Amino acid sequence: MIARTWHGTVPASLSEAYHQFLLRIAVPDYRRTPGNLGVYVLRRAEGEIAHFLLLTLWESRDAIRGFAGDDIERARYYPEDPDFLIEMEPTVEHFEVLERVL
């Protein structure tokens, strides 16, 4: 299993609207991609900025390619993202999941 993490920041005033956008558009998009095993949406408030971390779980790197394209290290954005995000970070990170304990 592979974990993919993406980080983004939005003004705190747009935090809830961005959260709703993720639930409406991004999360369903991840979930309908074959090989997606789950999506976690995390948020941390830091003064006037809200940090979002999306952690997605995948069966394989090939499954990630089905979502992200051939360059899986490159972040994938939606047309609405510039309306919210302070910066469009260019890359994501991948981790091999060694243990999963629930």
Query: Is 66 among the domain residues?
Result: yes
Residues of the domain holding 42: 2-96
Query: Is 102 among the domain residues?
Result: no
What is the per-residue pLDDT across 68-96, written as a single tens digit (0 to 9) for each?
999 999 999 999 999 999 999 999 999 99
Query: Is 101 among the domain residues?
Result: no
Query: Is 51 among the domain residues?
Result: yes
Query: Is 84 among the domain residues?
Result: yes
Which of 95, 13, 83, 102 lies closest to 53, judged by CA? Answer: 95
What is the per-residue pLDDT across 33-76, written as a single tens digit (0 to 9) for each?
999 999 999 999 999 999 999 999 999 999 999 999 999 999 99
Q: Taking the model in full, what pTM does it have? A: 0.93
DSSP label at residue 33: S
The predicted pLDDT at position 92 comes to 98
Query: Which regions of the chain does DSSP assign to beta strands (E)?
Result: 2-11, 36-46, 49-58, 93-96
- The Cα–Cα gap between 6 and 16 comes to 18
Q: How many structural domains does the chain have?
A: 1
Tell me, what CATH number does 18's domain have?
A: 3.30.70.100
